[in-house]
Structure 1
Amino acid sequence: MRSILIILFIIPLFSFAQKAQTPENIVDLIKKNVTCQWQDETVDTFKAGDPKSEITGIAVCMFADMATLQRAVEMNCNFIITHEPIFYSHLDETDTFTNDPVYLEKRKFIEDNKLTVFRFHDHIHSTSPDGIYEGMLNKLGWRKYAVKDSPLYFKMPKTNISDFAEQLKEKLGLESIRLVGNGEMEFTKVGLAVGAPGGPRHIKMLRQDNVEVMVAGEASEWETYSYVNDAAAQGKTKAVLFLGHVKSEEAGMEYCAEWLQGFVKDTPIHFIENELNFTEL
């Protein structure tokens, strides 16, 4: 009788241990492992699919574009965690896309392949350390140059724009980098502004004495570009190197995949690098 009771007790425990993960379960684990309070008003929500579906694999990416979704399907990943919007606007609003053939085909691909998509943007930036900057510092190897352990400000060995740009291209796998401002100067003081925080934040960083060169993602040409070009025309030692949005943050999502592996068990997790589908002629 005692043996039967032990067996009956073990079977439910084994069944529980083998219970399949769902996107909803994974997001609950993410909420428990970030160091910040989860906000009610956030873009970090499910954008497509069924949060209660069974996960076959997790794909982590910067942009969930068509090429990335196709790659995820090839890798047997049906849960996509993306940093940026999937449907072409910050809030993934689709009202104006109801008859759009590009949107409709992408939506059909997601539905046909039973994919679930979750955006992880606000809280990976708000957790400590900021996961995107953490990944970028790892990739760039700049931690030793950080001013007072800041992820934003660095004191580098003296160099020039050309050599510095070559180092960035090599580390990030870029064919080219866009330079705006004084391209002839030597410098030591660098600021990092990933993604697209906006012209006002770029200009706030550039006006500081401890920033000669800002390494940035992307910006409106009538804001940051105009400001730094005027500064250079006035003889000021100011320049910006634009990496593009993807490469200025993508290493942060690679870090995110590694971070997830620390508390998501028995589920394959893959980082998918975005293809840069443009050519500079």
Structure 2
Amino acid sequence: MKATLTLLLLATFLLAAQNNTPKTPEEVVSLIKEHVTCDWLSETVDIYKAGDPHTPLKGIVTCMFADMNTLKKTVDLDCNFIITHEPIFYSHLDETETLQDEPVFREKINYIKKNGLVVFRFHDHIHMTQPDGISVGMINKLGLKPYSVDGSLTFFKLPEQTVKDYAQSLKSIFGMQSIRVVGNPELEFTNLAFMAGAPGGQRHIQMMRNPEVEVILAGEATEWETYLYANDAKELGKNKAVIFLGHIKSEEAGMEYCAEWLKTFVSGIPIHFIKNEANFVTF
């Protein structure tokens, strides 16, 4: 009787594992839709960007940008489904109508087709799910969780330090050659706001107006908005500064977290995170 029960439990476990082993990218996306905590939007950028979603699944890669280096590494890993956070074809909506005869686009799409790759964007809903998956991954990477103000994913109270010293520690965490600081690098601060990606200069400026915020840890911004305001604030003696990580480094750990999150409900399929190389050279 005991042996029979053991075999029954084993069969139940194997069946459950098999049910969580997707056969196609489409089945992976269906599982994602089941596990986010928000309703799936009818209008969203989170759609297939290239490839056939019914392609037999070999392995999954998560990344910030599905650039050519990432495509090649995916092939090297013998994977064929890429889940990217940001656009793949150079505009927010991946509008390709005017790119059909453009050589860079044409060679990239041909590489995707030749290697049977499928690309899906996962942007809106990883941010909308609770808690925001990109923020969770980044806060873990930055070690900010113990300093959260009332559990916030935006506001943190750090041990007092200078902007320069904190920027140096960020360079070490992310292995960056350089980091941009706008404002007084010798400013001693404790109150930090984290604003990943590219929310826009006006949102940065609105955050700097908050008397409780001294330093913003940001992704990227247009120079005539955030940069101009922060520099003017410095010249006027305001205790304000912005540290720019760049768009990739300000969100990338969220897609590393995404790979670990996928492993909690996808089994039997290799899942890898691919880190983007720096997209510029510092001299």
Shorter chain as denominator, the TM-score bin is over 0.9
Deviation at 1:20, TM superposition (A): 5.6
* Aligned counterpart, 1:100: 102
Which residue of the other structure, out of 198, 205, 215, is the alignment partner of 2:207?
Answer: 205
Q: Deviations over 1:205-250 (max 9, x none)?
A: 1110111110100000011111111111111011101001000000
Work out the CA distance in 2 between the residues paired with 1:162 and 1:20. 47
Deviation at 1:184, TM superposition (A): 2.1
Q: Deviations over 1:115-165 (max 9, x none)?
A: 000000000000000000000010010101011110101111100011101
* Aligned counterpart, 2:192: 190
Under a length normalisation based on structure 1, what TM-score does the superposition of the two structures give? Answer: 0.93
Deviation at 1:95, TM superposition (A): 1.4
The unaligned stretches of length 5 or more in structure 1 are: 1-9
Amino acid in the other structure paired with 2:87? P
Matched, 1:65 2:67: yes
Which residue of the other structure, out of 250, 253, 277, is the alignment partner of 2:252?
Answer: 250
* Aligned counterpart, 1:261: 263
Secondary structure at the aligned position of 1:103 is classed as helix
Work out the CA distance in 1 between the residues paired with 2:116 and 2:253. 27
Amino acid in the other structure paired with 2:75? V
Under a length normalisation based on structure 2, what TM-score does the superposition of the two structures give? Answer: 0.92
Work out the CA distance in 1 between the residues paired with 2:203 and 2:262. 30
* Number of corresponding residues: 269
* Aligned counterpart, 1:138: 140
Deviation at 1:277, TM superposition (A): 3.4
Question: Larger deviation: 18-27 or 197-206?
Answer: 18-27
* Identity, % of aligned positions: 59
Deviation at 1:199, TM superposition (A): 0.8
Deviation at 1:23, TM superposition (A): 0.6
* Aligned counterpart, 2:149: 147
Work out the CA distance in 2 between the residues paired with 1:167 and 1:202. 22
Match runs of 1:170-249 below 5 Å: 170-249=172-251
* Aligned counterpart, 2:54: 52
Secondary structure at the aligned position of 1:30 is classed as helix
Amino acid in the other structure paired with 2:28? I
Moved over 6 A (4+): none
C-alpha spacing 1:76/1:227, structure 2 compared with 1 (3 Å): same
Which residue of the other structure, out of 36, 43, 61, is the alignment partner of 1:34?
Answer: 36
Secondary structure at the aligned position of 1:149 is classed as coil
Amino acid in the other structure paired with 1:189? N
